Chains A and B, each alone.
Chain A
Amino acid sequence: MTFPLGAPLLDACVLGVLTQGDAYGYSLTQRMKEVVDLSESTLYPVLRRLRQAGCLNVYDQPYQGRNRRYYAITPVGRTLLSGYREAWREYRGQIETMLFSEEPEEGGGEYGEG
């Protein structure tokens, strides 16, 4: 099973994936679909929102007679991502105190995700 991603987490994941390199919509969607249950239509609003917020830049590159629109993370996006990462670690820790409450504490941080 997978857990649905809320908007902030989705934003965070998009930003995270883009730190590995610029991507176009389709490739980004496929990349994320490997990990989470994501509808094909989900990412456009997310990308647009992040772009408007100054977290992403876009540029077009010709490919087979048409354009591919690439998304690239900006410094603002990286800052936002670092905030998300911190928040996620904290959140994950809190969730795990409930999920694994009977297990010894030193096991924390080693659990696989998803």
Chain B
Amino acid sequence: MKGKISMGSPLESGTMFMAVAMLSRAFGWQFFDDLRQNDLIAAGGNSSVMNRMETRERPIGIVLLENILKAQKKGSSIGAIYPPEGSVAVPSPIAILADTRQPELARKVYDWFFSDEAQKAIVKAGLYSPFARIVPPMGAPAWDKISPHAGSLLRWSPEVLSELYEKKDEMKRQFSQRMMSR
């Protein structure tokens, strides 16, 4: 595996930060130290990981599923491996600013995002819907099949999210010291 793996930088990509946060939470920083032993590249965002896989510079990557699904539509031969421990979910929150100038309009947009129409559009773009009634994106298994089992440290919850938010600066610092310094 040496010289074969790449991932993005959690300093540059929010989704990559989420992956680093959950993986370090579940497996400790030793997990990343081991990856470092394999001469991992940690730079750029999801699209640069995709590019390194497509060009076989680094054929294995830690990347968003939506990027893989999109690439497959274009004829890419990249496939997804779902880890048996479960996949990291990257929630996409939605909120209305307290001081918004258009509260009614914002509310309408907010509500629309929870409609079937919006959820189907989101799924079409390669993301999972949080609602069980909406089928998973084309080419992807049901979320139940790949989600971490109950009690797993990889499992997402609002409490976990606020814990990660507290520690975000510290985690970025840990990562940059372990993975990016020489």
Please indicate whether A and B come from the same complex rather than being unrelated chains: no
Residues of A that sit less than 8 Å from B by CB: none
